[in-house]
Structure 1
Amino acid sequence: MKKGQVYEGVIDRVEFPNHGKILLPEEERVVTVKNGIAGQRVKFSVNKVRKGKALGRILEVICPSDMEIESPCPHFGQCGGCTYQTLPYDEQLKLKEAQLKEMMDGAVTGDYVWEGVRPSPLKQEYRNKMEFSFGDEYKDGPLALGMHKRGSFHDIVNVPKCQIVDEDFRRVLACTLEYARESGLPYYHRMRHVGFFRHLLVRKAAKTGEILIDLVTTGQFDFDKDFGGKEWTSRLLSLSLGGRIVGILHTRNDSVADVVQDEGTEVLYGQDYFYEELLGLTFKITPFSFFQTNSLGAEVLYETVREYIGETKDKVIFDLYSGTGTIAQILAPVAGKVTGVEIVKEAVRAAKENAEGNRLSNCSFWAGDVLKVIDELGETPDLIVLDPPRDGVNPKALRKITDFGVERMVYIACKPTSLVRDLEMLEGRGYRVERIRGVDLFPGTYHVETVVMLSHKKPDSVINVKVEFGEGEGKVPLDNIAKRAAAYKPKERVTYKMIKEYIEAKYGFKVHTAYIAEVKRELGLPMYDAPNAVEELKQPRKHPTAEKAEAIKEALKHFEVI
């Protein structure tokens, strides 16, 4: 098997996140392809072959799966936003449940209660936020405004009939694209770093119907003179919408990164926030603050959290990675005190305002990195809720969190693979998984939220032993204790820096950290404490020369790693 070869095969199964597995008996290999469905017969090309593994790219679906239906979205297949639009919703849930259960079974030691995946109240038009990108439909084609094309970081697909947002989103999208084309201004080219249009951010509350619109551009053209911001605002306000526009904004972003970044926001109309309601509470949401993108699904998620956290009366609760404080405020009415920690200052400001608006006096919110702020809180929690970003919890922060030894902890994960990594450390530090439930906040996609309830292990029994130290019958000599302590003293942790310094001192040359990692990987050594690890490499791994590989192995022997 070589890179570039084309094969046909049937997708046997799909593993999380969206990795289809195709067995090729003639090659004695399993090839992994993305964006497929079990049962599909596909034509695919081989992209990479290495160490018994092969990655491929689907070129054509020759025969659909028996489970498939016609996609309700006309953009499916071109747009990279959704993966499972051709699966009936009950089949989507079965797939997510099977994938999630398999991962949790492999990660959890001992028995736990598996509670399946709860469905989203809405299967279509469920999103309350979309970030549309500007680009061109094809090279040197007309201006486009939509989603990234499947498998591409640059090409944009117009999505005027996107089915995961409602009609108000679609009308705002169409109006903005038409006006942008009339202006004749170019989109911001991500490689050349020139141009004007970057993103269109639209947010709409499911309960209140309030709409916030933000056009993100560079500062390379004058927004009023060259674009005509007042006319664009006027056109938006003249649209016939089901909801109500409460704010129209313009954000400048001249950063090189292809993300929505605020380098100054101007209010063109109304205000720079809107309100949403969840479980009887009202939340003020600003353009860039985190809030679950499926409002009705979020209620299902937070009901699960409230159920899992259990008895909270007079308890002190830490809500870590608290965003705009939704979980903290949902727990506050039945708790003694809730403290939220969030690194995004804008979200913390919103959380404080929300708590005040909801008349909750037992909430406090801190801005900063959990790893640093947790040492400054000045109190010990009874219960902890973790809702970290996609990459999970920093291992150093997780150690500090587990040092509190709280009786119950609830972990909410938007990326199950990060959860699997963190559960290993949590179990190693004395926590036991009691219950797990998935909540589907993203129908049509492979994403799924996971809620885990953990309890701290308590000793089954206690034995009191009276020991006398010193010399004489029935006493334990102190020198024996010192000897046993020395014998059981844990080995010093061997760091990459120690290995590099040893090799340079002995052999006179330097080795890259990546070389050490590659040798450890080849030897089958565990690759722990790697918070920056990624599932798929953007660049090929670095391979050391034979001389440097032998030096690394000798250093590993010296430090008794092997």
Structure 2
Amino acid sequence: MEKENTNSKIEEAVQQQEKYWCQNQDRCGGCFYQEIPYEEEVAKKEREIRDLFDPVIQGNYLFEGIISSPKKEAYRNKMEFSFGDQEKDGPLCLGLHQKRSFFNILNTEDCRLPHPDMGEILLATRLYFQEKSLRYYHKKRHEGYLRHLLIRRAEKTGEILLSLVHSTQLPAEEEEKILSGWRDRLLSLEKEGKLEGSYAGILHTKNDSLADAVINDGTETLFGKDYFYEELLGLNFKITPFSFFQTNTLGAEKLYAKVQEYSSFSENAEEKPVIYDLYSGTGTITQLMSKVAKQAIGVEIVEEAVEAAKENAKENKVENCIFYAGDVLKVLEAGQGATELPYPDFIIVDPPRDGMHKKALEKIISYGVKRLVYVACKPKSLARDLEALQNAGYKVQKLCAVDMFPRTNNCEVVALLEKEES
């Protein structure tokens, strides 16, 4: 009887775990922790963060552990899929790259990271273009039509925005017929009740770049509109196919709430600070901090992101935000002493994966603000930048990890640093 109970528990555990597995678990390099319970994955990530920062951080600090993602599956609100084949001259595939392969593409409509709606759209798109015998764009020969499929899905509303990325190697009349047929095939999914969400827009994007990347050489709308809105901590953000936005919406709310907590500013304070949000993207943090700031200033090198930030601030009726487009170092140097760029009281940095350029970091340190918050999408970059910050008198007070990417080996970190008195 005891043996039967043990076998039953093992079978139940296996069945529970199998629901997280996809057909490509041994071939796709996207997921690292598909075969272990999520609790074990989080514990492993937490140990890795401690092992990385404990030897680097000087003195005592409060490690607040890791905040789990609210969703462990179907959390990605954006995916970029590639057309290709899994073997030379094989049937058309549409999905993700095979592990350790530049050319082989896996059909990944079973992927568990995005919402199942994306899988339905992926499958319908692949079958449609297989029927039409259209060729994918060959990376070496630079011939073919189909390149990528970009899909975004709003977490709060379920609206879906997608764009077929293709070359311009089809005659215009043939292309129009092909694209309208694809649009109608996708619309039939919604009509037949195969989607939980609904389409905001179906688009197509021209791309004749030699690079194997999603590049916008011109986008046109086949159905609906070219944007939707996503809500984040009470603010609305306009999302276009190529907007920068955190890929885990609910996880981003946890991340940004931690940034707000570390700022320690009150909306009711008599004297409010000037806050710099450097590497600000579409201005999410800038707008969130505007509630407690006299003025919140965002700096971002991507001009499209800055324009989106301005539009989002207008949509949210936020009037004390200013956004600058340009390299962080150049913008700060140009604004030194200028009336339009007041001296900061508090600085938040959220740099790209490689961290901050040495001179930009030196410039940020030169302001001598009492406190700053560093948001790192690559913890190793923060660990490297801490050397200069600590040498300049900044001490890590608190550090918290946020699991923005369940089932992968990535994790974000937020650190609060305070400048010690000389």
Scaled by the length of structure 1, the TM-score of the pair is 0.68
Q: Which residue identity lines up with residue 411 of structure 1 in the other structure?
A: Y
Q: CA deviation at 1:224?
A: 5.2
Q: Residue 283 of structure 2 aligns with which residue?
A: 325
Partner letter of residue 389 of structure 1? P
Give yes or no for contact 1:388–1:412 (8 Å, CA) kept in 2. Answer: yes
Query: What's 1:285 paired with?
Result: 239
Tell me the CA shift for residue 379 of structure 1: 1.7
TM-superposed CA distance for 1:72, in Å, is: 2.5
Structure 2 counterparts to residues 75-114 of structure 1, below 5 A: 75-114=24-63
Question: 2:332 maps to what in 1?
Answer: 374
Cα displacement (A) at 1:80: 1.6
Identity of aligned residues (%): 53
Partner of 2:211: 257
Aligned to 1:497: none
Cα 1:223–1:119 shift into 2, 3 Å: farther
C-alpha distance after superposition, 1:445-493 (max 9, x if no partner): 000000011111212xxxxxxxxxxxxxxxxxxxxxxxxxxxxxxxxxx
Q: Deviations over 1:397-446 (max 9, x none)?
A: 11111111111111111111111111111112221111100000111000
Q: Distance in 1 between matches of 2:119 and 2:173?
A: 24
Partner of 1:228: 178
- The Cα shift of 1:75 comes to 1.8
Post-superposition Cα deviations, 1:32-66, rounded to whole Å, max 9, x if no partner, equal: xxxxxxxxxxxxxxxxxxxxxxxxxxxxxxxxxx9
Which residue in 2 is equivalent to 1:266? Answer: 220
Task: State how far apart, in whole Å, the 2-side matches of 1:429 and 1:191 are.
Answer: 49
Structure 1 residue 116: Cα displacement:
0.6
**Unaligned residue ranges in structure 1 (runs of 5+):** 1-65, 460-562
Cα distance in structure 2, aligned partners of 1:248 and 1:430: 52
Q: How big is the shift at 1:325? A: 0.9
* In structure 2, C-alpha distance between the alignment counterparts of 1:186 and 1:285, rounded to whole Å: 30
What is the TM-score of this pair, normalised by structure 2?
Answer: 0.90
**Contact map agreement 1:320 1:384 (CA 8 A) in 2:** yes
1:426-505 to structure 2, matched below 5 A, reads 426-459=389-422
Question: Is structure 2 residue 261 aligned with structure 1 residue 307?
Answer: yes
**C-alpha deviations, 1:149-194, integer Å up to 9, x for none?**
0111211110121111112111111111111212212111112222
Tell me, yes or no, if the aligned pair for 1:285 and 1:324 is still in contact at 8 Å: no
Out of 246, 254, 258, which is 2:200 matched to?
246
1:364 corresponds in structure 2 to: 322
Output the amino acid matched with 2:60.
D
Q: Report deviation, 1:69.
A: 4.9
> 1:223·1:229 contact (CA, 8 Å) conserved in 2?
no
Equivalent position amino acid for 2:185 in 1: R
Change (3 A) 1:405 1:223: farther
SS for the counterpart of 1:302 is helix
Aligned residue number for residue 340 of structure 1: 298
In structure 2, how many angstroms separate the alpha carbons of the residues matched to 1:362 and 1:184? 54
| 1:375 to partner: Cα distance | 2.0
CA deviations on 1:121-156 (whole Å, 9 max, x unpaired) are 001111100001111021111010001101112111
CA distance in 2, matches of 1:301, 1:214: 29
What is the DSSP-based 3-state SS (H/G/I as helix, E as strand, rest coil) of the residue aligned with 2:101? coil
Q: Residues 334 and 69 of structure 1: is their aligned pair in 2 closer, same or farther, counting only changes over 3 Å?
A: same
Count matched residues: 393
In 1, Cα distance between the equivalents of 2:411 and 2:223?
A: 36
Alignment of 1:14-93 (within 5 A): 69-70=17-18, 71-93=20-42
Structure 1 partner of 2:165: 216
- Which string of whole-angstrom CA distances, capped at 9 and with x for unpartnered residues, describes residues 183-214 of structure 1? 21211111222221111000011012211101
The DSSP-based 3-state class of the residue aligned with 1:340 is strand
TM-fit CA distance, 1:223: 5.9
Q: Deviations over 1:95-136 (max 9, x none)?
A: 100001110112211111001110000011111000011110
Q: Is 1:403 the counterpart of 2:356 in the alignment? A: no
Cα contact 1:323–1:351 (8 A) shared by 2: yes
Matched, 1:349 2:298: no
Residue number in structure 2 paired with 1:134: 83
Residue type at the aligned position of 1:310: S
Deviation of 1:353 after TM superposition, in Å, equals 0.9
Q: Distance in 2 between matches of 1:244 and 1:347?
A: 26
Offset, 1:74:
2.4
- The 2-side partners of 1:280 and 1:332 are apart by 13
- Secondary structure, aligned partner of 1:106: coil
Say if 2:348 is the partner of 1:385.
yes
Give yes or no for the alignment of 1:149 onto 2:107.
Answer: no
Q: What is the deviation of 1:79?
A: 1.3
Aligned partner (choices 70, 80, 94) of residue 121 of structure 1: 70
Structure 1 417/296 Cα, relative in aligned 2: closer, same or farther at 3 Å?
same
Quick one: which of 106, 110, 115 aligns to 1:161?
Answer: 110
Structure 1 residue 85, shift from structure 2 partner: 0.6
Residue 207 of structure 1 corresponds to 156
Are 1:424 and 2:387 matched, yes or no? yes
Is residue 109–residue 118 contact of structure 2 (8 Å, CA) maintained in 1?
A: no
**Secondary structure at 1:360 match in 2:** coil
SS of alignment partner, residue 250 of structure 1: strand
Check the 8 A contact 2:399/2:415 in 1, yes or no: yes
- Counterpart CA distance in 2 for 1:223 and 1:357 is 38
Structure 2 CA distance for partners of 1:223 and 1:449, relative to 1, 3 Å: farther
Counterpart secondary structure, 2:404: coil
Q: Distance between the aligned counterparts of 1:111 and 1:192, measured in 2? A: 57
- Out of 115, 122, 138, the position equivalent to 1:173 is 122
Within 2, Cα distance between the matches of 1:431 and 1:85?
39
Mind listing any 5+ residue stretches in structure 2 that lack a counterpart? Answer: 1-13, 336-340
Instruction: Tell me the equivalent position of 2:8.
Output: none
Aligned letter for 1:129?
K
